[in-house]
Amino acid sequence: MSEPTQVKADLIPYTDEYADMVRGWIDSEETYQFVCRGKNFPPPDELVKSWQREGIASFLLFADRKPVAYGELWNRPKELAVEIAHVLVNPYSRSQGLGTKMVNLLYARGAARPDVAKVLANVYNENEFGLACLLKAGFELVSTTNFGGGLRVVKMVR
C-alpha cells in the first residue's frame, strides 16, 4: 500500500453528474453497510443524490484525472466541528492510500475554517478498514456513538 502523501490527487466539489458512478462504487452488501448502514443491496438509484443537503459539502478525489473517491463534510456548529462522512473509494482503487488521502484532504478543508476546532468522524464497529484509514490519517478514537453502534474519532485543529 502506498503512503497517502505520495499519491498525487486533487479534491474537487462533487456534482450530480457523478452520482451513478459513486453509487456504483458500493459494490457489495458489506460496503453498503459500512458507508451508510444500507440494507437491501443494491442501493437505490437516488442514494448519492439524497446525501446532498444543506450543511453538507461533498467532494470527489481525482487521481490521474479520474474520480477515485467520494466524501463529505457535515457542519456541526454546536460542537465547533465538521464531520467527515460517506467516504467511499472506487473498488479498483482501494488499498492504494486513496481513502487516507481523501480523509487528509477533507480534514485540511474543514480545519481551515475559522469556526472549526475539531474534525470528527463516526465509523461503524465492524468497519475495520474505515477505522484503520481514519487512525492512519491521525484521528484518535475517543468514544462510542449512540447512533448505529459505532465509534467516534476526532482530530483537533491546531
Measured CA to CA, the distance from residue 87 to residue 96 in angstroms comes to 15
Residue closest to 70 by CA, chosen among 48, 54, 43, 55:
48
Q: Cell numbers 481523501 correspond to what residue?
A: 102
Where are the domains positioned within the chain?
A: 4-156
What is the arithmetic mean of pLDDT over 3-14?
Answer: 73
What is the arithmetic mean of pLDDT over 37-60?
Answer: 95
User: For the structural domain made of 4-156, what CATH number should be given?
Assistant: 3.40.630.30
Q: For a pLDDT cut of 70, what percent of the chain falls above it?
A: 93
Cell output for 22: 459513486
Q: Are 72 and 56 in contact (CB under 8 A)?
A: yes
Mean residue pLDDT of the chain comes to 91
The per-residue pLDDT for 8 is 73
pTM: 0.91
Residue closest to 129 by CA, chosen among 73, 69, 79:
69
